[in-house]
A and B are shown apart, each in its own frame.
Chain A
Amino acid sequence: MSYKRPRATSPSGSQKRPRGVGATPSTITLGTELPPDEDGDDGAFVPVWKQTVTDERGRRRLHGAFTGGFSAGYFNTVGSKEGWAPKAFVSSRANRNKDTAQRAEDFMDEEDKAEAAESRELETAQSFATIGRVGDHQNDALFGLFVTEEETMGVKIAQKMGWRRDQGVGRKVRRTARSDDTSGAAAHMFAPNDSRMMSAAREEVNRKGLGYQSEARLGATDEKEPKDRPMLALPFLEDRSKPKVPKKAAPKKSSFGVGILNDTGSDDEDPYELGPKITFNKSLGKDKKPKKPSKFAKTAAAEGIVFKPKKTSGEITGSPRLSHDGKPPLPGFVLATQVIDLTSKKRYPLPKIPPGWKSAKSTAQPADSQSYQSVPDAAKSSTLDAKARASLLGETLLPGKSVFDFIPKDVRDRLATMTGKVNLPQGRGEGAPEGYQDSNSTKPKDLWTFVPILDKSTAAAALAKGATGWMPYAEDPNKRARYVSCLELRAGLRHDLPERAENMSVSEWAKELQEFAHAAEVFKPTTGIMASRFTSSTSTSLPGSGSNTPNENLLSKPTPKPEDPAEQAAKLGMYGPMTRTSFPFHPSRLLCKRFNVKPPAMPPAADADADGAGFKGKTEEAVSKSALDKMMHEVLSKGAPALQRPAWMGAAPQETLSGSPVTAAEPDGGHATVDVEKNDALVQERAPEDLFKAIFGEDDDDE
């Protein structure tokens, strides 16, 4: 925390330099001005750049960068250039730690130690301590404080005052002697009887330190006064008959805490200051006022607050009633005869409302108790039924109807007489609603249970598909009609039962309806993404092949490809004609040339396709062994296929028609594909060669 001294914000007149050349000062100074105080802080004007900031001890805190700011780090922190001086290492090998027992002083700081020392130094002498020692309750006999062997100061004083042991303390009492012979009964002055000390309950003893003076409390001061009294101020020692002398006010003692009334406004007095403790009464050697008027009581009396201390008992019988401190009450005050209970507030009765008064704010009409009717009573007395109420309220009638709407009136009356209830609704005897009446009695109502549940949208979609495209049961128009009617029923277009074909049992009819529902689910047009992936077939199924139902069509797998009989034969090891096929191909001329073979006579390029087709057809039935053998024979024997070709081309269809035992033409057809058709490059290549041959015949021969 730094302090900055308040200074003048502007230079005073004396510090100002005269301005201007011809300006003459208005004042004349004589003598020499005193030099400014070196460390004197007179609050004179100092420019900002000359001001210094100090801490609470007046040390300079901020050093400028040019004036030793570097050293600011340690100069003002630990006070040495080296910083905290490290503790010299002391080897504990030679001198072990000897005192390991910890004392309480090890944990006390200076303040604690001073307090401890102070609490030690002012000890009550033993001889004095027995009297009035607070909290000594072991000896409950009167003057149990005297039981100590050595005579204490109090005993000495009491004995000097004529007190003897086993005597009461107090003024002597005139009475007759208590002896057996009461003849010469003469009154004598006797010491008062020894009485037992009034023992205060332990828990009621407020343990207070010496010198503590309780603050007076409102309402509780008087009750606690006897208990708070020090023991020495024994009330029973006082002669009750003796009028109490007014005691002078006790000097004001400081106590813990300062009330706001004690605040004098001066700050120099620290109420919490732990000053010289000798100011407290630590010993009991001196006279102590047994009672002090409480501060509050005094102030209260001074300020005229109505506060009467309560009389503890009615034993104070003096005619001028004194307050508890023996003083008569202040003029103008009388002692209260009863305790004012401040805690109990007086309760006043409610003001009486004048009869006939009406609040202007009450809006509720005064309920007529005679015409008041509870809700159930009103409901009972009402003659309206639910429909009447609904009509009154303008509601539309609910579709649900009561059973009484359907039973005739006599039945309702019978019910009423049987149950004894007269408030049954009227029997209306209505007929069944539309769609539910069994007008045609041939179809009982429970036939509806056979009609399968079908989603309305599904039925409508199936119907729409049937309208635009394909619909199942094309082979049976009657069945299709029934299917359509079923769909229409479920689509909400009709309301009567689906028709049943003649000589069809109910179970068959139900089964057919289930089939219709299934078919509608199946043939419902696809929607959304799925629909976008399919296109509807343009060709419908052939009506002639309607023996199988559409369901079977859907679920039928593609027929497995029949295994090649040649493969079967090969698997069986029947190699030979069964496993051998052949097909013609067209070796290119260049290839034949490279192989130095005479190329087979090629048909013209224009005929290649037709020939290829012919070859294909031929090779498809080339499995015919007789045809193959004949062909091979012709080929091998005559050697010129070109010559033979027209012959077997003409013969081949006949052989096909004649029927060959091996009829595996179709599956094997793939092998007979003539690649000449595909090989456009070769075909195109060959045509220019013919051209080349025609043109460059010699070149070809040369090669």
Chain B
Amino acid sequence: MPPFPAKPIAKLTGHTGPVHAVAYSASPHSYILTGAADRAIRLYNPSKAPSSSVAPASSAAYPPGLVNKYNAHGYEVLSIDVNQANDRFVSTGGDKTVFLWDVQTAQTVRRFTGHGGRVNRGVFGGEGDSVIVSASFDGTVRIWDVRSTSYKPIMMFSDAKDSVTDVLVFDGEIVSGSVDGRVRSYDLRTGYCQVDVIGYPVTSLAMSKKGTEVLVSSLDSTVRLMDRTNGQLLKAYRDEAFVNTDLRVRSTLGLNDSVVISGSDDGMVFAWDLLGGTTLHKFRHSQMREVKGKVEKKEKGKKDIVSAVAFCPSRREWASAGGDGNVIVWGMDN
């Protein structure tokens, strides 16, 4: 069992609202993009933000490690995804619009409108990140063409009966999770959509590297690893202290698909062993420390949530975004 990065190595401050989205940049994975309820997107260099950094008094000032700010959203930012070339990223939020940003100029390149509700998730897809797939509260998944100047989506999946909370693109498949408790996998090659019933509202999806398993978070305080080939349940990850019944909380796979980490409603971050299903670590985000043993119950504050986690694909490092506006980057001791 490889050691788990359990030491906070950086603290990204500056957001004045709960951070809903956190994403590592592409291939060097040296930057972190965060989007929060304060309608701002910030680009951080976590290596320049020590864990002892404190938020500046003014939100206009640059906290340690902040590289750039991207301000165009009129509502909260709910998701961020960076393309492979590291020159564009997509952000979605409450303003029913998908924003395509240029990283350097900090300007929006495209804005895709058409969703009838807030857009929960927007990811790049296709060859060369030529499309953007967005999942919205209006129950649709829309696929937008980046290359053309068409303002209409290429395709729209409106099969979901409820809000679509997450979507991911893997190879030729588009996988969406919805509040109606179903994970729909649209296989473009075959023209078939496989619907897997989870039974509880799905809040997060994560694909394994092989693409044969998908990690599904649902609002029954359970994270499930589903076999995509036959829809069977491979593993369910639970903990007696793990609470996820109300909020959209992201979960992800890490350490070369060996651990599962997930945020929670009460400000804890849990790490499970993927194969064994046992709880490896528990972290309290606001206190920037790992909780050993039994988790003391805290009264759930409004800000004490961890809504997004992201694992660095290349290093032993991951980030948790909390309701207090801070993003903690956890790493190894060395």
Interface assignment of A597: CB less than 8 Å from any CB of chain B = yes
Q: Known interface pairs A581-B195, A584-B193, A671-B195. Does A590 touch B145 (Cβ–Cβ under 8 Å)?
A: yes
Do A585 and B126 touch across chains, with their CB atoms under 8 A apart?
A: no
State how many angstroms separate the Cβ of A426 from the closest Cβ of chain B: 89
Interface assignment of A679: CB less than 8 Å from any CB of chain B = yes
Q: For B135, what are the chain A residues with a Cβ–Cβ distance below 8 Å? A: none
> B139-152, CB under 8 A of A: which get 1 and which 0?
00001010100001
Once bound together, how far apart are the Cα atoms of A576 and B230, in whole Å?
6
Do B197 and A579 touch across chains, with their CB atoms under 8 A apart?
A: yes
Tell me which of A570, A635, A670, A681 contacts B198 (CB under 8 A): A570
Within 8 A of A (CB), among B173-214: 181-182, 186, 188-200
State how many angstroms separate the Cβ of A185 from the closest Cβ of chain B: 145
By size class, the interface of chain B is: 35 or more
Within 8 A of A (CB), among B122-171: 125-127, 130-131, 143, 145, 147, 152, 154-159, 161
Do A600 and B154 touch across chains, with their CB atoms under 8 A apart?
A: no
Interface assignment of B231: CB less than 8 Å from any CB of chain A = yes
Interface assignment of A294: CB less than 8 Å from any CB of chain B = no
Q: For B256, what are the chain A residues with a Cβ–Cβ distance below 8 Å? A: none
State how many angstroms separate the Cβ of B259 from the closest Cβ of chain A: 22
Interface assignment of B332: CB less than 8 Å from any CB of chain A = no
Interface assignment of A566: CB less than 8 Å from any CB of chain B = yes
Interface assignment of A575: CB less than 8 Å from any CB of chain B = yes
Tell me which of A577, A592, A596, A671 contacts B230 (CB under 8 A): A577
Interface assignment of A329: CB less than 8 Å from any CB of chain B = no
Do A635 and B230 touch across chains, with their CB atoms under 8 A apart?
A: no
Tell me which of A579, A581, A587, A675 contacts B158 (CB under 8 A): A675
Interface assignment of A115: CB less than 8 Å from any CB of chain B = no
Do B192 and A584 touch across chains, with their CB atoms under 8 A apart?
A: yes
Do B154 and A595 touch across chains, with their CB atoms under 8 A apart?
A: no
State how many angstroms separate the Cβ of A453 from the closest Cβ of chain B: 52
Q: Known interface pairs A570-B199, A579-B231. Does A588 touch B190 (Cβ–Cβ under 8 Å)?
A: no
Q: Known interface pairs A670-B161, A675-B156. Does A595 touch B188 (Cβ–Cβ under 8 Å)?
A: yes
Q: For A673, what are the chain B residues with a Cβ–Cβ distance below 8 Å? A: 159
User: Nearest residue in A to B230 (C-beta to C-beta)?
Assistant: A576
Interface assignment of A567: CB less than 8 Å from any CB of chain B = yes
State how many angstroms separate the Cβ of B113 from the closest Cβ of chain A: 15
State how many angstroms separate the Cβ of A518 from the closest Cβ of chain B: 41
Do A570 and B186 touch across chains, with their CB atoms under 8 A apart?
A: no
State how many angstroms separate the Cβ of A645 from the closest Cβ of chain B: 10
Interface assignment of B226: CB less than 8 Å from any CB of chain A = yes
Q: For A682, what are the chain B residues with a Cβ–Cβ distance below 8 Å? A: 155-156
Q: Known interface pairs A569-B197, A570-B197, A678-B158. Does A594 touch B127 (Cβ–Cβ under 8 Å)?
A: yes
Do A599 and B195 touch across chains, with their CB atoms under 8 A apart?
A: no
State how many angstroms separate the Cβ of A85 from the closest Cβ of chain B: 75
Q: For A584, what are the chain B residues with a Cβ–Cβ distance below 8 Å? A: 191-193
Do A600 and B131 touch across chains, with their CB atoms under 8 A apart?
A: no
Within 8 A of B (CB), among A677-701: 678-679, 681-682
Within 8 A of A (CB), among B202-239: 224, 226, 230-233, 236
Do B154 and A594 touch across chains, with their CB atoms under 8 A apart?
A: yes
Q: For A598, what are the chain B residues with a Cβ–Cβ distance below 8 Å? A: 189
Which has the most chain B C-beta neighbours within 10 Å: A581, A585, A600, A670?
A: A585
Interface assignment of A154: CB less than 8 Å from any CB of chain B = no
Within 8 A of B (CB), among A569-618: 569-571, 573, 575-577, 579-588, 590-592, 594-600
Do A592 and B188 touch across chains, with their CB atoms under 8 A apart?
A: yes
User: Nearest residue in B to A679 (C-beta to C-beta)?
Assistant: B156
Q: For B194, what are the chain A residues with a Cβ–Cβ distance below 8 Å? A: 580-582
Tell me which of A571, A641, A675 contacts B157 (CB under 8 A): A675
Do B158 and A596 touch across chains, with their CB atoms under 8 A apart?
A: no
Q: For A151, what are the chain B residues with a Cβ–Cβ distance below 8 Å? A: none
Once bound together, how far apart are the Cα atoms of A672 and B265, in whole Å?
34
A-B interface pairs (CB < 8 A), number: 118
Do B159 and A641 touch across chains, with their CB atoms under 8 A apart?
A: no
Which has the most chain A C-beta neighbours within 10 Å: B127, B172, B189, B194?
A: B189
Q: Known interface pairs A581-B194, A582-B192, A584-B191. Does A591 touch B155 (Cβ–Cβ under 8 Å)?
A: yes
Tell me which of A580, A641, A678 contacts B195 (CB under 8 A): A580
Once bound together, how far apart are the Cα atoms of A670 and B140, in whole Å?
15
Within 8 A of A (CB), among B81-115: none
State how many angstroms separate the Cβ of A671 from the closest Cβ of chain B: 6
Q: For A583, what are the chain B residues with a Cβ–Cβ distance below 8 Å? A: 192-193, 195
Once bound together, how far apart are the Cα atoms of A691 and B159, in whole Å?
29
Do B196 and A575 touch across chains, with their CB atoms under 8 A apart?
A: yes
Do A635 and B197 touch across chains, with their CB atoms under 8 A apart?
A: no
Do A681 and B232 touch across chains, with their CB atoms under 8 A apart?
A: no
Do A587 and B155 touch across chains, with their CB atoms under 8 A apart?
A: yes
Interface assignment of A136: CB less than 8 Å from any CB of chain B = no
Once bound together, how far apart are the Cα atoms of A682 and B152, in whole Å?
10
Interface assignment of A410: CB less than 8 Å from any CB of chain B = no
State how many angstroms separate the Cβ of B132 from the closest Cβ of chain A: 10
Tell me which of A571, A582, A594 contacts B193 (CB under 8 A): A582
Q: For A576, what are the chain B residues with a Cβ–Cβ distance below 8 Å? A: 230-233
Do B155 and A575 touch across chains, with their CB atoms under 8 A apart?
A: no
Q: For A573, what are the chain B residues with a Cβ–Cβ distance below 8 Å? A: 233, 236
User: Nearest residue in B to A575 (C-beta to C-beta)?
Assistant: B233
Interface assignment of A564: CB less than 8 Å from any CB of chain B = yes
Q: For A596, what are the chain B residues with a Cβ–Cβ distance below 8 Å? A: 126-127
Which has the most chain B C-beta neighbours within 10 Å: A567, A579, A581, A635?
A: A579
Tell me which of B154, B188, B200, B224 contacts A597 (CB under 8 A): B188
Do B158 and A577 touch across chains, with their CB atoms under 8 A apart?
A: no
User: Nearest residue in B to A675 (C-beta to C-beta)?
Assistant: B158
Do B186 and A585 touch across chains, with their CB atoms under 8 A apart?
A: yes
State how many angstroms separate the Cβ of A674 from the closest Cβ of chain B: 9
State how many angstroms separate the Cβ of A194 from the closest Cβ of chain B: 124
Q: For A567, what are the chain B residues with a Cβ–Cβ distance below 8 Å? A: 181, 197, 199
Q: For B157, what are the chain A residues with a Cβ–Cβ distance below 8 Å? A: 585, 675
Do B127 and A590 touch across chains, with their CB atoms under 8 A apart?
A: no
Do A641 and B191 touch across chains, with their CB atoms under 8 A apart?
A: yes
Q: For A594, what are the chain B residues with a Cβ–Cβ distance below 8 Å? A: 125-127, 130-131, 145, 147, 154
Once bound together, how far apart are the Cα atoms of A252 and B140, in whole Å?
132
Q: For B199, what are the chain A residues with a Cβ–Cβ distance below 8 Å? A: 567, 570-571, 579
Q: Known interface pairs A590-B145, A675-B158. Does A635 touch B190 (Cβ–Cβ under 8 Å)?
A: yes
Apart from A567-B199, A571-B199, A580-B197, 8 more pairs, CB < 8 Å: A579-B199, A579-B231, A591-B131, A594-B125, A594-B130, A596-B127, A599-B188, A599-B191
**Cβ contacts A to B, 23 pairs, < 8 Å:** A567-B199, A570-B197, A570-B199, A571-B199, A575-B197, A575-B233, A576-B233, A577-B230, A577-B231, A580-B231, A581-B197, A582-B194, A582-B195, A585-B191, A588-B155, A595-B125, A597-B172, A599-B191, A600-B188, A635-B190, A671-B195, A675-B159, A682-B155
Residues of chain A having any CB pair with chain B under 8 Å: 564, 566-567, 569-571, 573, 575-577, 579-588, 590-592, 594-600, 635, 641, 670-671, 673, 675, 678-679, 681-682
Give the 5 A-B CB pairs with smallest separation, nearest first. A570-B199, A600-B191, A580-B231, A575-B233, A594-B126
